[in-house]
Structure 1
Amino acid sequence: MKFDVTLLSHDLNEMAQMAQTAETLGFDGLWTAETQHDPFFPLLLSAEHTSNLQIGTGIAVAFPRTPAILAQMAWDLAKFSNGRFMLGLGTQVKAHNRLRLGAPWDKPLKQMRETILATRAFWDCWQNGTPLDFLGEYFKLQLMTPFFNPGPIEHPHIPIYIAAVNKGMLRLAGELCEGVHIHALHSVKYLQEFALPHIEAGLQKNGRSRADISLNTAVFAIPTDDPDYETFAENHVKQQISFYLSTPAYRVLAELHGWEDTAVQLSQLAREGKWAQMPNLINDNILDVMAVRGTWAELPGIIHDKYGQLLDRVSYYLPFIPTENQQGWRASIEGFASLRVASGE
């Protein structure tokens, strides 16, 4: 199990130090989320100031960007990072696409499928000289001249991860992708009884096996070494769980665990803008299912025992600040490294 750092937010002025610190501490990878800022720009700085750290978008919203734009940004980052870049894509939800991003929203599953295939068509064209000829419901791509062709690169195989919560996207990930971003709003029951069976169905459709795909997620972690930080982390986790449970698109988890009434109440509070009240609905039972609690050094073993072979990469759903909690982060990094050695990875 690899241990990554996921940046929930980032400042370009701090990215060089952040990436260098992440690599020095020993993280396996660094993911950038598309929240307040673009997720691609910080990875350029991360690639420039590191040499071994894997880097990826976790996630970039797909539909506001055409396959040509996605292909070109990924191609340049793969070349500049010497093959360390991973392209993570997600759909976001209908309201954000239409009302915040001004992007089309029609049949998201089919749109994502075509986005993946069309992006790869560009890469095949640039690397192998294959004529660009992609015809789909959403994209007609048949023009590539030498002036716009960046040409082949040394590391042309760029892993594509997609964010998946529900049946269709999980199956698509299994069918077409090298990785899947499992939402932080997950549980062992969700992984075992819902996510993995659908991923497996997608894998079988394309003659692939579980070894052909990497499952990545951010885990709601509550380090207990320092009481003040433990309180901060627990409040942070409750806030995030309440926000995600309020989103109808993520309702499958609530249904699996019988939390529908809580999810409906959270949705109502969100509509009323009562964000501060929402964490109060996250009781101890929900927290025990959704989060892990222990010292920084204990957390890797707790996560390993909880998830076993269900996941391949994890990060903590906590803010990473290079000048804070370095001893704690290092303890967790060393813990995951020791577990890999013990299991012969």
Structure 2
Amino acid sequence: MVKLFNYLLADSHHEVPAVARRNEEIGFERLYVAETKQDPFMQLALAAQATEHVTLGTGITPAFARSPMVLAYSAWDLQKASRGRFILGLGTQVRGHNERRFSVPWSTPGPRLREVVEAIRAIWDCWQNGTRLDYQGEHYRFQLMTPMFDAGPIDHPFPKIELGGHNPKACALAGEISDGLNAHGIHTKRFLEENTVPAFLDGVEKSGRRPEEVELSAPAMMVVGGNSEEMSAHYETIRKQISFYGATRTYSPVFKLHGWKETYLELHALAAENTPASWEKMPSVVTDEQVETFAVVGTPEEIPDLLRAKYDGLVDRVSPYYADPMENPERWKAIARELNQG
């Protein structure tokens, strides 16, 4: 049965403890922080001190923007600070962001991400079990760990590692080497059934594990409202978000699967113009049919059953995507109670 988690949204670090506690009180199973405008590790350190039992994680942090050694230290510290509640969520990000936002060279993202995961676990094994650090890969090499820099053992298991993924190769890699896949929010039920889940399970089989030993999570686009005005506002928010992702070549397969190639091409052309007028026009390209294929649309009372109908048997947990539970905590407490305790 599908469970409900959430993403921590706070404009200021001073707000993080209170927002994290409120999410825990609502009853979300997990609380992730996306890497957008702020450092997720700093926010999660604050959330770890403010909460008691909710699982915390990065969802998703770009794997190549930091050395695996830096990621290993950050995750180790957060696993200690949270008393064993931390998940390290990693993803490749797209080429443009690596090269032009992080100034990181781009090369074979799949094999490189595999090495990031392997290297981090080798570093953790060195700290926890005293094994000699000797990781030799094509992209990363780690041999030096003196006592001064050895983080030492912790009283918890290694942090779980989840990988973000959208294309079949990324989903298969997550199934093969990680503890779970965090699928992208720009998906439909059909895309999950025909692309994401089969690729993920192929990777799980390759690893020699059973499907129940790994997890699949996904942000779920939701249009939730108690009245027509609220519903309409959320509907247009989702339409705008679909238009943003629909302009990106990486996410075109889901549009093409549904016969919406022309929508992708038009959105891509408008984004390439990169003018205020072109960005303003993009949401109008997305049809109501497309909104209702990507998103679940209903009243608060309908949402649990709608989520079960779309996701049961496909993913283990979903998060509200562009529906902010802090706007109506009591509503989401009822939804979380039904999904997470039902």
TM, length-normalised to structure 2: 0.96
Counterpart Cα distance in 1 of 2:47 and 2:328: 21
CA RMSD of aligned residues (A): 1.3
- Contact 2:16/2:43 (8 A) holds in 1: yes
Once structures 1 and 2 are overlaid, which stretch shifts more, 110-119 or 1-10?
A: 1-10
The superposition leaves residues 19-47 of structure 1 with CA deviations (integer Å, 9 ceiling, x where unpaired) of 01001111111111111111111100100
Match of residue 335 from structure 1:
338
Where does 1:118-197 land on structure 2 (aligned, <5 Å)?
A: 118-197=119-198
Once structures 1 and 2 are overlaid, which stretch shifts more, 289-298 or 47-56?
A: 289-298
Aligned partner of 1:330: which letter? K
The superposition leaves residues 140-172 of structure 1 with CA deviations (integer Å, 9 ceiling, x where unpaired) of 111111110011001132111111111211111
Q: Once the two structures are aligned, what percentage of the paired residues are identical?
A: 40
Aligned partner of 1:284: which letter? D
- Contact 2:222/2:323 (8 A) holds in 1: no
Aligned partner of 2:166: which letter? V
The superposition leaves residues 39-93 of structure 1 with CA deviations (integer Å, 9 ceiling, x where unpaired) of 1111001000000111100111110101000000000000110110000011111
CA apart distance, 1:110 = 1.0
Counterpart Cα distance in 2 of 1:260 and 1:118: 39
Counterpart Cα distance in 1 of 2:262 and 2:26: 43
Where does 1:1-345 land on structure 2 (aligned, <5 Å)?
A: 1-7=2-8, 10-273=11-274, 274-318=278-322, 320=324, 322=326, 324-339=327-342
CA apart distance, 1:9 = 5.8
- How many residues align? The count is 338
Counterpart Cα distance in 1 of 2:147 and 2:129: 13
Aligned partner of 1:304: which letter? R
- Contact 1:9/1:36 (8 A) holds in 2: no
Counterpart Cα distance in 2 of 1:125 and 1:56: 23
CA apart distance, 1:216 = 0.6
Counterpart Cα distance in 2 of 1:36 and 1:191: 29
Counterpart Cα distance in 2 of 1:215 and 1:23: 21
Counterpart Cα distance in 2 of 1:257 and 1:83: 42
Once structures 1 and 2 are overlaid, which stretch shifts more, 291-300 or 121-130?
A: 291-300
Question: In structure 2, do the counterparts of structure 1 residues 10 and 33 end up closer, same or farther at CA, with 3 Å as the change threshold?
Answer: farther
Counterpart Cα distance in 2 of 1:248 and 1:302: 29
CA apart distance, 1:272 = 1.2
- Contact 1:39/1:59 (8 A) holds in 2: no
Aligned partner of 1:76: which letter? D
Runs of 5+ unmatched residues, structure 1:
340-345
CA apart distance, 1:242 = 0.8
CA apart distance, 1:281 = 1.2
2:40 alignment partner, SS class: coil
CA apart distance, 1:8 = 5.5
